[in-house]
Protein backbone atom coordinates (compact mmCIF):
# COMPACT_ATOMS: atom_id res chain seq x y z
CA UNK A 1 0.00 0.00 0.00
CA UNK A 2 2.84 2.34 0.90
CA UNK A 3 4.52 1.64 -2.45
CA UNK A 4 1.29 2.40 -4.31
CA UNK A 5 0.90 5.72 -2.45
CA UNK A 6 4.54 6.62 -3.12
CA UNK A 7 4.19 5.77 -6.82
CA UNK A 8 1.04 7.87 -7.06
CA UNK A 9 2.79 10.74 -5.32
CA UNK A 10 5.74 10.53 -7.72
CA UNK A 11 3.39 10.58 -10.72
CA UNK A 12 1.52 13.61 -9.34
CA UNK A 13 4.79 15.43 -8.65
CA UNK A 14 5.99 14.68 -12.18
CA UNK A 15 2.74 15.95 -13.69
CA UNK A 16 2.97 19.13 -11.61
CA UNK A 17 6.60 19.56 -12.63
CA UNK A 18 5.77 19.22 -16.32
CA UNK A 19 2.85 21.64 -15.89
CA UNK A 20 5.17 24.12 -14.20
CA UNK A 21 7.70 23.80 -17.01
CA UNK A 22 5.04 24.50 -19.61
CA UNK A 23 3.91 27.53 -17.60
CA UNK A 24 7.43 28.87 -18.04
CA UNK A 25 6.89 29.06 -21.78
CA UNK A 26 5.85 32.39 -23.19
CA UNK A 27 2.18 32.67 -22.23
CA UNK A 28 1.02 29.68 -24.24
CA UNK A 29 2.57 31.00 -27.44
CA UNK A 30 3.75 28.15 -29.71
CA UNK A 31 7.34 27.08 -29.21
CA UNK A 32 9.59 28.03 -32.16
CA UNK A 33 12.65 26.31 -33.53
CA UNK A 34 14.31 28.52 -36.12
CA UNK A 35 16.82 27.51 -38.79
CA UNK A 36 18.40 29.66 -41.45
CA UNK A 37 20.97 32.23 -42.50
CA UNK A 38 21.68 35.89 -41.74
CA UNK A 39 18.09 36.88 -42.50
CA UNK A 40 17.05 35.24 -39.22
CA UNK A 41 20.31 34.89 -37.24
CA UNK A 42 19.89 36.52 -33.82
CA UNK A 43 23.47 36.16 -32.62
CA UNK A 44 24.81 32.65 -33.15
CA UNK A 45 27.71 33.98 -35.21
CA UNK A 46 28.78 36.06 -32.20
CA UNK A 47 30.14 32.85 -30.71
CA UNK A 48 32.11 31.43 -33.64
CA UNK A 49 35.20 32.52 -35.54
CA UNK A 50 33.71 34.00 -38.69
CA UNK A 51 34.07 36.87 -41.13
CA UNK A 52 30.28 37.15 -41.10
CA UNK A 53 29.25 39.04 -37.98
CA UNK A 54 26.81 41.77 -37.04
CA UNK A 55 27.60 42.37 -33.36
CA UNK A 56 28.92 45.88 -33.88
CA UNK A 57 27.59 49.35 -34.71
CA UNK A 58 25.60 50.31 -36.73
CA UNK A 59 23.79 46.93 -36.74
CA UNK A 60 20.94 47.07 -34.24
CA UNK A 61 20.96 50.88 -34.28
CA UNK A 62 17.19 50.97 -33.74
CA UNK A 63 17.15 48.03 -31.34
CA UNK A 64 19.43 49.76 -28.87
CA UNK A 65 22.24 47.24 -29.12
CA UNK A 66 24.17 45.36 -31.86
CA UNK A 67 23.01 41.88 -30.88
CA UNK A 68 24.20 40.02 -33.95
CA UNK A 69 21.10 40.64 -36.06
CA UNK A 70 21.96 41.62 -39.64
CA UNK A 71 19.62 44.58 -39.81
CA UNK A 72 18.87 47.85 -38.05
CA UNK A 73 16.48 46.24 -35.56
CA UNK A 74 14.32 43.09 -35.54
CA UNK A 75 14.41 40.11 -37.90
CA UNK A 76 11.41 38.54 -39.61
CA UNK A 77 11.20 35.74 -37.02
CA UNK A 78 11.38 38.25 -34.16
CA UNK A 79 8.36 40.01 -35.60
CA UNK A 80 6.44 36.81 -36.32
CA UNK A 81 6.93 35.82 -32.69
CA UNK A 82 5.56 39.18 -31.60
CA UNK A 83 2.57 38.82 -33.93
CA UNK A 84 1.78 35.46 -32.33
CA UNK A 85 1.95 36.91 -28.83
CA UNK A 86 5.50 36.12 -27.85
CA UNK A 87 6.95 38.55 -25.29
CA UNK A 88 10.61 37.56 -25.63
CA UNK A 89 12.86 36.87 -28.60
CA UNK A 90 13.68 33.23 -29.34
CA UNK A 91 17.29 32.92 -28.07
CA UNK A 92 20.37 31.95 -30.07
CA UNK A 93 21.47 28.34 -29.57
CA UNK A 94 25.09 29.29 -28.89
CA UNK A 95 24.23 31.91 -26.28
CA UNK A 96 25.51 30.47 -22.96
CA UNK A 97 22.20 31.32 -21.27
CA UNK A 98 20.19 29.16 -23.71
CA UNK A 99 19.94 26.11 -21.48
CA UNK A 100 17.63 24.48 -18.97
CA UNK A 101 13.93 25.43 -19.00
CA UNK A 102 14.69 28.29 -21.44
CA UNK A 103 14.91 25.83 -24.34
CA UNK A 104 11.29 24.80 -23.78
CA UNK A 105 10.32 28.18 -25.24
CA UNK A 106 12.23 27.50 -28.45
CA UNK A 107 15.70 28.03 -29.87
CA UNK A 108 17.18 29.86 -32.86
CA UNK A 109 19.94 27.95 -34.71
CA UNK A 110 20.37 30.29 -37.71
CA UNK A 111 23.83 31.42 -38.80
CA UNK A 112 24.97 34.24 -41.06
CA UNK A 113 26.62 32.76 -44.14
CA UNK A 114 24.99 29.36 -43.67
CA UNK A 115 23.56 27.43 -46.60
CA UNK A 116 21.77 24.26 -47.60
CA UNK A 117 25.00 22.91 -49.09
CA UNK A 118 27.96 22.51 -46.74
CA UNK A 119 30.24 24.08 -49.36
CA UNK A 120 28.31 27.35 -49.32
CA UNK A 121 29.64 30.32 -47.37
CA UNK A 122 33.24 29.14 -47.31
CA UNK A 123 34.28 32.71 -48.02
CA UNK A 124 33.32 33.51 -44.38
CA UNK A 125 35.43 30.65 -42.97
CA UNK A 126 33.14 30.07 -39.97
CA UNK A 127 29.40 29.57 -40.42
CA UNK A 128 26.86 26.96 -39.36
CA UNK A 129 25.27 25.30 -42.37
CA UNK A 130 21.89 23.63 -42.19
CA UNK A 131 23.20 20.12 -41.52
CA UNK A 132 25.08 21.41 -38.47
CA UNK A 133 22.07 23.45 -37.34
CA UNK A 134 19.97 20.30 -37.36
CA UNK A 135 22.71 18.53 -35.41
CA UNK A 136 22.41 21.31 -32.82
CA UNK A 137 18.64 20.84 -32.72
CA UNK A 138 19.22 17.14 -32.05
CA UNK A 139 21.14 18.17 -28.93
CA UNK A 140 18.28 20.45 -27.85
CA UNK A 141 15.76 17.68 -28.48
CA UNK A 142 17.67 15.34 -26.19
CA UNK A 143 17.87 18.03 -23.51
CA UNK A 144 14.10 18.56 -23.73
CA UNK A 145 13.53 14.82 -23.33
CA UNK A 146 15.79 14.85 -20.27
CA UNK A 147 13.85 17.73 -18.72
CA UNK A 148 10.24 16.68 -19.30
CA UNK A 149 10.39 13.07 -20.50
CA UNK A 150 9.89 11.54 -23.93
CA UNK A 151 6.05 11.70 -24.26
CA UNK A 152 5.84 15.35 -23.20
CA UNK A 153 8.82 16.24 -25.39
CA UNK A 154 7.20 14.66 -28.45
CA UNK A 155 3.98 16.58 -27.74
CA UNK A 156 5.93 19.83 -27.44
CA UNK A 157 7.68 19.21 -30.77
CA UNK A 158 4.44 18.19 -32.46
CA UNK A 159 2.87 21.53 -31.58
CA UNK A 160 5.99 23.64 -32.14
CA UNK A 161 6.57 25.75 -35.24
CA UNK A 162 9.72 24.92 -37.17
CA UNK A 163 10.86 27.81 -39.37
CA UNK A 164 13.46 27.32 -42.13
CA UNK A 165 14.79 30.37 -44.03
CA UNK A 166 17.87 29.43 -46.03
CA UNK A 167 19.27 29.10 -49.55
CA UNK A 168 20.41 32.59 -50.56
CA UNK A 169 24.04 31.92 -49.61
CA UNK A 170 24.08 28.85 -51.82
CA UNK A 171 23.79 31.29 -54.71
CA UNK A 172 25.29 34.60 -53.49
CA UNK A 173 28.25 33.03 -51.66
CA UNK A 174 28.72 29.95 -53.78
CA UNK A 175 27.36 29.67 -57.32
CA UNK A 176 27.39 33.41 -58.04
CA UNK A 177 30.67 34.47 -56.44
CA UNK A 178 32.39 36.86 -58.90
CA UNK A 179 35.46 35.60 -60.77
CA UNK A 180 35.13 31.93 -59.76
CA UNK A 181 31.43 31.76 -60.69
CA UNK A 182 32.18 31.70 -64.42
CA UNK A 183 34.32 28.60 -64.04
CA UNK A 184 31.80 26.93 -61.75
CA UNK A 185 28.87 27.69 -64.02
CA UNK A 186 30.75 26.24 -67.00
CA UNK A 187 31.07 22.94 -65.12
CA UNK A 188 27.69 22.86 -63.36
CA UNK A 189 24.52 24.10 -65.02
CA UNK A 190 21.92 26.04 -63.03
CA UNK A 191 19.59 23.03 -63.30
CA UNK A 192 22.23 20.72 -61.87
CA UNK A 193 23.14 23.10 -59.06
CA UNK A 194 19.52 23.68 -58.07
CA UNK A 195 18.93 19.94 -58.27
CA UNK A 196 21.73 19.32 -55.77
CA UNK A 197 20.22 21.92 -53.44
CA UNK A 198 16.74 20.40 -53.63
CA UNK A 199 18.07 16.88 -53.07
CA UNK A 200 19.98 17.94 -49.97
CA UNK A 201 17.07 20.04 -48.70
CA UNK A 202 14.70 17.07 -49.01
CA UNK A 203 16.98 15.03 -46.75
CA UNK A 204 17.31 17.88 -44.22
CA UNK A 205 13.58 18.62 -43.98
CA UNK A 206 12.80 14.91 -43.71
CA UNK A 207 15.28 14.68 -40.85
CA UNK A 208 13.45 17.44 -38.97
CA UNK A 209 10.21 15.51 -39.45
CA UNK A 210 11.76 12.28 -38.17
CA UNK A 211 12.92 14.11 -35.03
CA UNK A 212 9.38 15.23 -34.25
CA UNK A 213 8.77 18.36 -36.33
CA UNK A 214 5.29 18.50 -37.82
CA UNK A 215 4.49 22.19 -38.41
CA UNK A 216 7.31 23.31 -40.69
CA UNK A 217 7.34 26.70 -42.45
CA UNK A 218 9.82 26.84 -45.34
CA UNK A 219 10.57 30.26 -46.84
CA UNK A 220 11.73 30.46 -50.43
CA UNK A 221 14.60 32.60 -51.76
CA UNK A 222 13.87 36.28 -52.33
CA UNK A 223 14.77 38.30 -55.45
CA UNK A 224 18.51 38.22 -54.82
CA UNK A 225 19.18 40.02 -58.09
CA UNK A 226 17.65 43.14 -56.55
CA UNK A 227 19.92 43.44 -53.52
CA UNK A 228 22.45 46.33 -53.68
CA UNK A 229 25.39 43.92 -53.89
CA UNK A 230 24.07 42.15 -56.99
CA UNK A 231 23.22 45.50 -58.58
CA UNK A 232 26.86 46.54 -58.10
CA UNK A 233 28.44 43.39 -59.55
CA UNK A 234 26.01 43.35 -62.50
CA UNK A 235 26.38 46.91 -63.86
CA UNK A 236 24.97 45.92 -67.26
CA UNK A 237 21.54 45.69 -65.61
CA UNK A 238 21.50 49.48 -65.33
CA UNK A 239 18.83 50.61 -62.89
CA UNK A 240 17.09 47.24 -63.00
CA UNK A 241 17.54 44.16 -60.84
CA UNK A 242 20.14 41.70 -62.10
CA UNK A 243 18.28 39.17 -64.23
CA UNK A 244 20.31 35.95 -63.90
CA UNK A 245 20.37 35.80 -60.06
CA UNK A 246 16.60 36.26 -60.02
CA UNK A 247 16.13 33.62 -62.69
CA UNK A 248 17.99 30.94 -60.75
CA UNK A 249 16.23 31.97 -57.53
CA UNK A 250 12.91 31.41 -59.29
CA UNK A 251 14.18 28.09 -60.68
CA UNK A 252 14.95 26.97 -57.14
CA UNK A 253 11.65 28.32 -55.78
CA UNK A 254 9.62 26.45 -58.38
CA UNK A 255 11.25 23.14 -57.43
CA UNK A 256 11.04 23.99 -53.73
CA UNK A 257 7.28 24.47 -54.01
CA UNK A 258 6.98 21.02 -55.58
CA UNK A 259 9.19 19.58 -52.83
CA UNK A 260 7.00 21.05 -50.09
CA UNK A 261 3.91 19.58 -51.76
CA UNK A 262 5.66 16.21 -52.03
CA UNK A 263 6.66 16.18 -48.37
CA UNK A 264 3.16 17.14 -47.20
CA UNK A 265 1.85 14.08 -49.02
CA UNK A 266 4.56 11.56 -48.23
CA UNK A 267 5.28 12.39 -44.57
CA UNK A 268 2.21 11.34 -42.60
CA UNK A 269 0.91 13.98 -40.20
CA UNK A 270 3.21 16.68 -41.52
CA UNK A 271 2.03 20.23 -42.15
CA UNK A 272 4.56 21.97 -44.38
CA UNK A 273 3.92 25.58 -45.44
CA UNK A 274 5.52 27.27 -48.45
CA UNK A 275 6.25 30.92 -47.65
CA UNK A 276 6.64 32.99 -50.82
CA UNK A 277 9.07 35.72 -49.72
CA UNK A 278 10.04 36.24 -53.37
CA UNK A 279 6.53 37.33 -54.33
CA UNK A 280 6.16 39.58 -51.29
CA UNK A 281 9.55 41.24 -51.74
CA UNK A 282 9.01 41.89 -55.46
CA UNK A 283 5.69 43.51 -54.63
CA UNK A 284 7.39 45.78 -52.09
CA UNK A 285 10.17 46.76 -54.51
CA UNK A 286 7.81 47.43 -57.41
CA UNK A 287 5.34 49.39 -55.28
CA UNK A 288 7.72 50.83 -52.70
CA UNK A 289 6.16 54.30 -52.61
CA UNK A 290 2.77 52.74 -51.87
CA UNK A 291 4.31 51.18 -48.76
CA UNK A 292 5.83 54.49 -47.66
CA UNK A 293 9.41 53.90 -48.82
CA UNK A 294 11.54 56.44 -50.65
CA UNK A 295 14.41 54.19 -51.75
CA UNK A 296 14.12 50.63 -53.06
CA UNK A 297 17.54 49.94 -54.57
CA UNK A 298 20.27 51.36 -52.32
CA UNK A 299 21.66 50.36 -48.94
CA UNK A 300 20.87 52.54 -45.94
CA UNK A 301 24.17 51.48 -44.35
CA UNK A 302 26.71 52.09 -47.12
CA UNK A 303 30.43 52.58 -47.64
CA UNK A 304 31.07 52.41 -51.37
CA UNK A 305 29.33 51.81 -54.67
CA UNK A 306 26.55 53.34 -56.71
CA UNK A 307 24.02 51.50 -54.57
CA UNK A 308 26.16 51.20 -51.45
CA UNK A 309 26.63 47.51 -52.09
CA UNK A 310 30.34 47.13 -52.81
CA UNK A 311 31.45 46.75 -49.18
CA UNK A 312 29.69 45.30 -46.13
CA UNK A 313 28.06 47.56 -43.57
CA UNK A 314 30.46 48.53 -40.79
CA UNK A 315 31.48 51.23 -38.30
CA UNK A 316 32.91 53.41 -41.09
CA UNK A 317 29.67 53.39 -43.08
CA UNK A 318 27.28 56.26 -43.52
CA UNK A 319 23.80 55.46 -42.25
CA UNK A 320 20.60 56.99 -43.59
CA UNK A 321 18.71 59.17 -41.13
CA UNK A 322 15.33 57.45 -41.52
CA UNK A 323 15.61 53.68 -41.84
CA UNK A 324 11.87 53.35 -42.31
CA UNK A 325 12.20 54.96 -45.76
CA UNK A 326 14.65 52.37 -47.11
CA UNK A 327 13.88 48.89 -48.38
CA UNK A 328 17.47 47.68 -47.89
CA UNK A 329 19.46 48.05 -44.69
CA UNK A 330 22.81 47.03 -46.19
CA UNK A 331 24.22 45.34 -49.28
CA UNK A 332 22.31 42.11 -48.57
CA UNK A 333 19.55 42.51 -46.00
CA UNK A 334 16.23 44.33 -45.69
CA UNK A 335 15.41 46.94 -43.07
CA UNK A 336 13.14 46.19 -40.14
CA UNK A 337 10.37 48.10 -41.95
CA UNK A 338 10.44 45.49 -44.74
CA UNK A 339 10.77 42.64 -42.25
CA UNK A 340 7.55 43.86 -40.60
CA UNK A 341 5.67 43.78 -43.91
CA UNK A 342 6.94 40.31 -44.80
CA UNK A 343 6.28 38.90 -41.33
CA UNK A 344 2.70 40.16 -41.20
CA UNK A 345 1.92 38.74 -44.63
CA UNK A 346 3.30 35.35 -43.65
CA UNK A 347 1.27 35.34 -40.44
CA UNK A 348 -2.04 36.51 -41.90
CA UNK A 349 -1.60 36.54 -45.69
CA UNK A 350 -3.46 34.70 -48.41
CA UNK A 351 -2.42 31.96 -50.82
CA UNK A 352 -0.28 34.31 -52.91
CA UNK A 353 1.93 34.89 -49.86
CA UNK A 354 1.94 31.52 -48.09
CA UNK A 355 0.28 28.20 -48.85
CA UNK A 356 -1.70 26.07 -48.27
CA UNK A 357 -2.54 28.32 -45.29
CA UNK A 358 -0.90 31.06 -43.24
CA UNK A 359 1.04 30.79 -40.00
CA UNK A 360 -1.81 31.93 -37.78
CA UNK A 361 -3.96 29.15 -39.19
CA UNK A 362 -1.10 26.73 -38.57
CA UNK A 363 -1.09 27.77 -34.92
Sequence-distant (6+) residues with CB within 8 A of 126 are 45, 48, 49, 50, 51, 52, 113
Sequence-distant (6+) residues with CB within 8 A of 29 are 81, 84, 85, 86, 87
Helix (H) or strand (E) holding 92: none
- The pLDDT tens digits of the residues spanning 63-92 come to 999 999 999 999 999 999 999 999 999 999
Residue 14 lies in a domain: no
Residue 358 lies in a domain: yes
Residue 37 lies in a domain: yes
Q: DSSP assignment, residue 89? A: P
Residue 315 lies in a domain: yes
Chain centre to alpha carbon of residue 317: 26
Domain count of the fold of the chain = 1
Residue 15 lies in a domain: no
> Which residues are tagged catalytic?
38, 330, 333
> Do residues 317 and 304 lie in contact, with contact meaning Cβ atoms separated by under 8 Å?
no
Domain that holds residue 99: 29-362
Query: Is 23 a residue whose pLDDT tops 50?
Result: no
Distance CA 267, CA 37 (A): 25
Query: Is 9 a residue whose pLDDT tops 50?
Result: no
Residue 12 lies in a domain: no
Of the two residues 299 and 363, the one the predictor is more confident about is 299
Which domain CATH number covers 96?
A: 3.40.50.1110
- The pLDDT tens digits of the residues spanning 90-131 come to 999 999 999 999 999 999 999 999 999 999 999 999 999 999
Amino acid sequence: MFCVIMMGTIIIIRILFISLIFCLTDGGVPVSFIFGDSLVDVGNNNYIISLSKANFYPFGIDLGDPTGRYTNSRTIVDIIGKELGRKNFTPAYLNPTTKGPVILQGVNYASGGGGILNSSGQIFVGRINLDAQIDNFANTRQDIITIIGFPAAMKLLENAIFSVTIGSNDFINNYLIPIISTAKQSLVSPDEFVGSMISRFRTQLTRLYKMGGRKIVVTNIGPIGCIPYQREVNPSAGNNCAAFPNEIAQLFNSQLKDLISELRTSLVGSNFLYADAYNIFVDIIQNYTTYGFENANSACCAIAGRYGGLLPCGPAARVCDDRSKYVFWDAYHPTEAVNVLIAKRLVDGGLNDISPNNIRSLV
